[in-house]
Amino acid sequence: MSLLTITKIHAREIIDCRGWPTVQADVWIDGRLIGRADVASGRSTGSHEAHVLLDGDPSRYQGLGVLKAVDNVNNVIGPELVGWDVTEQRKIDLAMIDMDGTANKSKLGANAILGVSLAVARAAANVNGVSLYHYINPNAHVLPVPLMNCLNGGKLTANELEIQEFIFMPVGANSYAHALEMTTEINEVLRDLVVEKYGILGTNTGDEGGFATPMRGIWEPFEFMSKAVDQAGYADDIVYAMDLAANSWFNQKSDVYELDGEAYDRDALIELYKKVAEAYPIVSMEDPLHEEDFEGFATLARELDMQIVGDDLFVTNVDRLREGVQKGAANAMLFKVNQIGTLSEALDAAEFAYRNNYGVQVSERSGETEDPIISDLVVALNSGQIKTGMPIRGERTSKHNRLLQIEEELGAAGVYAGRDFARPA
């Protein structure tokens, strides 16, 4: 038996940070457990994402169980892949896509397929005695700027703030460790400001660790953030970003965006974004318009001097990204492996983005686990930016702590992306 031969694949149902079920997959090599991976899940999802297979049985987890996906790993995918070389990632991913046979992985479930895909990659790295980021890319060396989601709204919370994420970016830090230090200090100041105005209940947090305050609109959050940054003494080192998740506050019937009691057509909303960008150093906007508005994303890319990120617009899908490139829509892609369902397809999307001078922002999902795999992926891609939540809960701190380990491993060979986060050298 070859030391690279898959001898067993096994999955189980585990829970994510919200207590919802998800898939965990194990890969065994030569009779030993070598690779394991968890599948994250999203609450705010694009309609073009790969299909997450749920049981639909209301008698357990309100229908959100994933035992069908687990069964597909254990009784369909696993037996087929026994005997395969674990290092043949693309062949394995393509084989699972063929087994499924649907356009969006709805037969076997993207959660089943992705769990195996990621566990195979981790097993291959482990059996070769290297870290996953190095296995994927021996030239991996860029430590990303963390996008610290400090104020939560939208589907991530139960407040009235329509915009999903308001974000600090510590571009002036000199290392990832320094970036964590800076943003943690700023967040403590922000906490005090929130308590001062809204009381202690204002420091309740959303799915990704940001404060779920009673703030409203687009201006008030930036007022709080800029005050916190100034008081912490980091005004020269911090810039801002937003995940607007505009799908969730776009009224499709009337073709307007409903924000803080006002209705905006596309042109009016773009003008609002311009005014906010003139007032604050905003360098990145994710999903500022709804997921089918390629023309509007193209207008933003032309008229705003910043990174415009397509998440629901592109869903880590080369075909959607190709359409965006042809139309000049946005200038960066959000990278979420579970949107497409295999590691190979996600890497293909990132490569296509780079070839067309688009940035790549690696991202968590709101339903995360303690698995820090995206930390290895962001370094493997040299992408320069990662969105993984405030470091206040285990499913978020695991990603930050893994990046601290990688920074130590890389030593002098590692480079913190800093102000070049969108196009790191």
309-332 tens-digit pLDDT: 999 999 999 999 999 999 999 999
pLDDT band at 216 (very low <50, low <70, confident <90, very high): very high
Q: How far is CA 138 from CA 119, 336, 403, in A?
A: 19, 22, 17
What's the CA gap between 229 and 231, in Å, rounded? 6
pTM equals 0.96
Per residue, the 3-state secondary structure of 323-369, as one string, reads: HHHHHCCCCEEEECHHHHCCHHHHHHHHHHHHHCCCEEEEECCCECC
pLDDT at residue 44, as a whole number: 61
* pLDDT of amino acid 294: 98
Query: CB-based contacts of 163: which residues, under 8 Å, 6+ apart?
Result: 153, 154, 218, 221, 242, 243, 244, 245, 249, 259
Provide the 10 A C-beta neighbour count for residue 276: 15
> Would you name the residues annotated as active-site residues?
208, 336
State the pLDDT confidence band at 95, using cuts at 50, 70 and 90: very high
Confidence of residue 425 (pLDDT cuts 50, 70, 90): confident
Of 56, 59, 66, 75, the C-alpha closest to 13 is 66
What pLDDT does residue 1 have?
53
User: What are the structure tokens assigned to 36, written together?
Assistant: 């394991």
pLDDT of residue 155: 82
Q: What are phi and psi of 243, to 5 degrees?
A: -105, 105
SS3 388: coil
Specify the pLDDT at position 389. Answer: 87
Q: What is the pLDDT of residues 11-66, one digit of tens each?
A: 999 999 999 999 999 999 999 999 999 999 877 676 889 999 999 999 999 999 99
Q: For a pLDDT cut of 90, what percent of the chain falls above it? A: 91
Query: How high is the pLDDT of residue 366?
Result: 85
Residue 414 in this model has a pLDDT that exceeds 80: yes
Cα-based distances in Å from 57 to 53, 54, 62, 339:
12, 8, 7, 24
Which pLDDT tens digit goes with each residue over 240-289? 999 999 999 999 999 999 999 999 999 999 999 999 999 999 999 999 99
Q: How many residues does the chain have?
A: 425
For the chain, the average pLDDT equals 96
8 A C-beta contact, residue 123 and residue 27: yes
* pLDDT score of 179: 98
Lowest-confidence region among 207-216, 349-358, 416-425? 207-216
Q: Does the pLDDT at position 156 exceed 80?
A: no
Per-residue pLDDT at 373 exceeds 70: yes
The span from the CA of 157 to the CA of 216, in Å, is 13
Residue 300 has pLDDT above 60, yes or no: yes
And the tokens for 182?
């800076």
| Per-residue model confidence (pLDDT) at position 364 | 94
Who has greater pLDDT, 303 or 425?
303
CA dist., res. 233 & res. 237, Å (int) = 9
User: CB–CB of 313/246 below 8 Å?
Assistant: no
Give residue for tokens 């067309």: 356
